[in-house]
Structures are given as structure tokens and as C-alpha cells.
Amino acid sequence: MKTRASVCARKQRFAAEEDALAAARHSGMDLRPYRCDRCHQYHLTSRTKGKRRPILLDRAAPGEESCAHEP
């Protein structure tokens, strides 16, 4: 399915998938990045039907603490 121009214009854009993943982690919502076929950058979506969802809880960005705690 192609991204509508009006949807692309409303969404925040990320130049790199890693930046979009970091924003998804910090959002507190179940979001995943996708590459837009209009602007060729990354947006975030909550839609997951038929899509692979990245594991966000176990991976911390460089310089961040992980959500998992060691006993």
C-alpha cells in the first residue's frame, strides 16, 4: 500500500531507521518504523497487521540504560 501524501506530510520524518527506533522506544507506545515510499525517510506507525515488529525493550541506544535489570 502506498503512503498518501497527506499522511506523509503530517508525520515526523527520521533520516535513519536507528533514529526512528530510538523515538519509538522513548514514546512508550507500541510503534515500529517504516520507510516511506513518498519521502524515502522513516516514519513511525502503530499498525502491525502482517508486519514484523522490532524488539524495543531489550535494546538500548548507545549511552542509554537498558530496561532489563540484572538481579
User: Quick one: pLDDT at residue 70?
Assistant: 46
> What's this model's pTM, rounded to 2 decimal places?
0.64
Residue 61 has pLDDT above 60, yes or no: no
55 falls within a domain: no
Q: Please give the tally of structural domains in the chain.
A: 1
**pLDDT in the model for residue 20:** 96
Domain range spanning residue 36?
A: 5-45
| pLDDT tens digit sequence for 1-55 | 688 888 899 999 999 999 999 999 999 898 999 999 999 999 999 987 765 655 5
Q: Is residue 50 part of a domain?
A: no
Residues near 15 by beta carbon (within 8 Å), at least 6 away in sequence: 41, 42
3 state DSSP class of 7: helix
User: Average pLDDT in the 54-60 region?
Assistant: 54
Residue at 62 is within a domain: no
- Whether 68 is in a domain gets the answer no
